Amino acid sequence: MQKIPVIQDPTPPFATDGKFHVRLTEGRFQNLRRLTSWPMIALFFGLVWVQVDGQPFLFFSFEQRRITLFGSALSWHDLPLMAGLMIAGAALLFFMAVAWGRVWCGFACPQSIWTWLFIRIEQLAEGRASERSKSDHLPLRGTRLLRRVIKHLLWILLAVLTAATFTGYFVPIREIVADAVNLEMSATVVGWLAIMEGLTYANAGLVREKICLHACPYSRFQSVMFDENTLTVSYDAKRGEPRANRRHSNKNSADKNSGDCVDCGICVQVCPTGIDIRNGLQAACIDCAACIDACDTVMDRINRPGGLIRFASERQLEGKQSPFLRPRLAGYAAVTLCAISAVIYGFTDTKGLLVEVRRDRTVLFTQLDQNTVCNNYRVKVEGFASDQELIKVSLSGNPQFTLNGPEIIKLSDNNSAWLPYRICGSNVDEINAKLAFVFTGNGISTSKETTFLSKLI
């Protein structure tokens, strides 16, 4: 299979000063892209407001050192599960790349989704791509200036909503809104919101395809995943070349030997990265299939079959059979299934209660009388279940030991707080006796072993 070219296409002929305007199109793949992206947008803006029993449905709390993932509370000790989710997602991404190319980039990547949103706002405010391209050389004043200002104001509004929503997964969204209304937001939150707003505005509104071309590493390492059977957006040169401007109602003898491509350039005009797919597979292609829908529209108009540009493998373009199942794809599928299975198993073994016990290192033990020795400890309890409120603390071991300290810990007041405890023992013969703190509450029980020093060695 030929290598992905490292050179980029020259500036499209309809662009001005290196800037091009993406022409929006319709078709079955664009409908599929919307069926994929719009639910993701709705989930992003909606989940931040969802609460279950007064707790956020999806939330990352640095203050409480707690992760609420789809209603289930996790501790920061369960962060490896998040890493496992990322590994499973990466394996799934690699599987999709081997099978269908960069469909993630074209159909579900947040950069692409927000770029399409900004393009639609641009068309709403300033008109279609052809109108924007023609007016680029005109002075920026009057109605044109007003439309440009409206566009940027709408971009900024969407960027603000995006930044506030994203921040709402780390700081309660209701607090953000209330503090914004009352002008009481902290400098940290304001700074974070400003950074996120600026990044959203720049990435989706100003930079756009530059992220896909230069910043995204996926476009660079996808070449090692493609093989001759990978289905990716491809131009059928055998059918389309040589190109000729022709119409089904006005054919001449010179056109009879021409291919189906009428060289209309619409495939370039609808490309969000500005490439010409007719030049072959390129690193900048994000497999959004906009060129497929646009080309199929032209083929319908000239009474030619669709599929001049389509999802096809190198072998299919050569007229050969291209199997979908193959060892490489099966290997990625196996890795993906193993990663997902490991994550699912990990979520069944999470801990709802974490405890930590530390001995007082300043005074190893205290001799109260000839037969009684006491050790001091500090205990911290962290609960991660919404229905946990009271935790009972007891001591497991020889009955000659007694525990002094709060028998009941109220998590709403003392969650993650260090509490003092003292254990005293009478007539202790062992130098290092083994004991265990036992913590129980609402069907959950856990213990933490410690040592009791009665004398120096």
pLDDT 10s digits, 143-152: 999 999 999 9
Interval 264-318: pLDDT, tens: 999 999 999 999 999 988 888 999 999 999 999 999 999 999 999 999 999 999 9
Q: What mean pLDDT is predicted for residues 387-395?
A: 85
Interval 393-402: pLDDT, tens: 998 877 788 8
pTM: 0.81
Q: Reply yes or no on whether the pLDDT at 254 is more than 50.
A: no
Q: Which residue has the higher pLDDT, 236 or 253?
A: 236
Q: Reply yes or no on whether the pLDDT at 237 is more than 90.
A: yes
180-219 exposure pattern, b = at least 16 Cβ within 10 A, e = fewer? eeeeebeeebeebbeebbeebbebbbebbbebbbeebebb
Grade residue 138 by pLDDT with cuts at 50, 70 and 90. confident
Q: Reply yes or no on whether the pLDDT at 2 is more than 70.
A: no
Interval 368-378: pLDDT, tens: 888 889 999 99
- Which range of 11-25, 127-141, 295-309, 421-435 scores highest in mean pLDDT? It is 295-309
- Judge contact between 68 and 55, C-beta under 8 A: yes
> Counting Cβ atoms within 10 Å, is residue 386 exposed (0-12), middle (13-18) or buried (19+)?
middle
The pLDDT value given to residue 432: 82
Mean of pLDDT over the chain:
87
Grade residue 249 by pLDDT with cuts at 50, 70 and 90. very low
Q: How many CA atoms lie within 13 A of 275 on its CB side?
A: 26
Alpha-carbon span 17 to 196, nearest angstrom: 29
Q: What mean pLDDT is predicted for residues 156-182?
A: 95
Percent of the chain surpassing pLDDT 70? 92
Q: What mean pLDDT is predicted for residues 118-144?
A: 91
The pLDDT value given to residue 307: 94
Pull the structure tokens for residue 243.
């190109």
Among 271, 313, 268, 306, which residue's Cα sits nearest to residue 288?
Answer: 271
The pLDDT value given to residue 200: 96
Alpha-carbon span 452 to 14, nearest angstrom: 81
HEC assignment per residue over the chain: CCCCCCCCCCCCCCCECCECCCCCCCCHHHHHHHHHHHHHHHHHHHHCCCEECCEECEEEECCCCEEEECCEEEEHHHHHHHHHHHHHHHHHHHHHHHHHCCHHHHHCCHHHHHHHHHHHHHHHHHCCHHHHHHCCCCCCCHHHHHHHHHHHHHHHHHHHHHHHHHHCCCCCHHHHHHHHHCCCCCHHHHHHHHHHHHHHHHHHHHHCHHHHHHHCCHHHHHHHCCCCCCCEEEECHHHHCCCCCCECCECCHHHHHCCCCCCCCHHHHCCCCCCCHHHCCCCCCCCCCHHHHHHHHHHHHCCCCCCCEEEECHHHHCCCCCCCCCHHHHHHHHHHHHHHHHHHHHHCCCCCEEEEEEECCCCCCEECCCCEEEEEEEEEEEECCCCCCEEEEEEECCCCEEEECCCEEEHHHHCCCEEEEEEEEECCCCCEEEEEEEEEECCEEEEEEEEEECCCC
Q: Which residue has the higher pLDDT, 247 or 192?
A: 192
Q: What mean pLDDT is predicted for residues 62-78?
A: 77
Q: What mean pLDDT is predicted for residues 428-433?
A: 79
The pLDDT value given to residue 18: 62
Measured CA to CA in angstroms, residue 447 lies from 410, 437, 438, 440 at distances of 18, 5, 4, 9
Alpha-carbon span 119 to 284, nearest angstrom: 18
- Judge contact between 432 and 341, C-beta under 8 A: no
The pLDDT value given to residue 260: 92
Q: What mean pLDDT is predicted for residues 406-424?
A: 88
Q: Reply yes or no on whether the pLDDT at 7 is more than 50.
A: no
Alpha-carbon span 38 to 283, nearest angstrom: 26
Q: Which residue has the higher pLDDT, 30 or 429?
A: 30
The pLDDT value given to residue 251: 47
Interval 34-58: pLDDT, tens: 999 999 999 999 999 998 877 788 8
- Judge contact between 313 and 232, C-beta under 8 A: yes
The pLDDT value given to residue 456: 63
**Considering only 89-98, 217-226, 374-383, 393-402, which range has the smallest mean pLDDT?**
217-226
Pull the structure tokens for residue 228.
């001759």
Pull the structure tokens for residue 180.
């914004």
The pLDDT value given to residue 238: 92
**Considering only 72-76, 121-125, 286-290, 304-308, which range has the smallest mean pLDDT?**
72-76
| Omega before residue 242 within 30° of 0, cis | yes
Q: Reply yes or no on whether the pLDDT at 64 is more than 80.
A: no
